[in-house]
Amino acid sequence: MTLVYQIAVIFLLLNIGAGLIRILRGPTPADRLLAVQLFGTTGTAILILLSMEADNDAYKNVALAFALLSGILGVAFARYGQAPRPTSTPAKEG
């Protein structure tokens, strides 16, 4: 049974590795933020699987921290991290 968890964890880690390509290539900052969201969700899933694999419920607390974190990062980035474009109205920000 642990083998199933480990295979799933390896698969999800490879997913994260593929998401790195989007961080590198992403033409706009929003695309890079999307890749970070992918890291957050996949990382949460990896942590739940690891907690099942090691039979340790404390790992689920870290998954909780991840879930909270990716949301906060997304809001911070969407609010403050946008590249300035001449067409947008920057007066609304801040």
Partner 1 sequence: MNLILTVDVILVVIMLVTAWLALTARDLQRAVILFIALGLLVSLAWVRLQAPDVAMAEAAVGAGLTGALLISTLNSMRELQKKKTSEVTPPADASPTPQEANHA
Partner 2 sequence: MLLDIAVVILIFAASFFFLAGTVGVLRLPDTFTRLHALTKADNAGLLLIAIAAALKADSWEVIVKLVIIWGLVIIASSTVAHLIGRATLQNGQTPWEKPS
Binding site for partner 1 (CB under 8 A): 2-3, 6-7, 9-10, 13-14, 16-17, 20, 23-24, 29, 32-33, 35-36, 39-40, 43, 46-47, 50, 53-54, 56, 58-59, 61-62, 65-66, 69, 72-73, 76-77, 80-81, 83-84
* Token pair in block for residue 12: 């999800």
Distances (CA, A) of 9 to 43, 54, 65, 67, 94: 10, 12, 19, 18, 40
Question: Are 59 and 71 within 8 A, CB to CB?
Answer: no
Distance CA 20, CA 15 (A): 9
Does residue 59 bind partner 2 (CB under 8 A)?
no
Does residue 50 bind partner 2 (CB under 8 A)?
no
Q: How far is the CB of 80 from partner 2 (least distance, A)?
A: 11
Nearer to partner 2, 30 or 94 (CB): 30
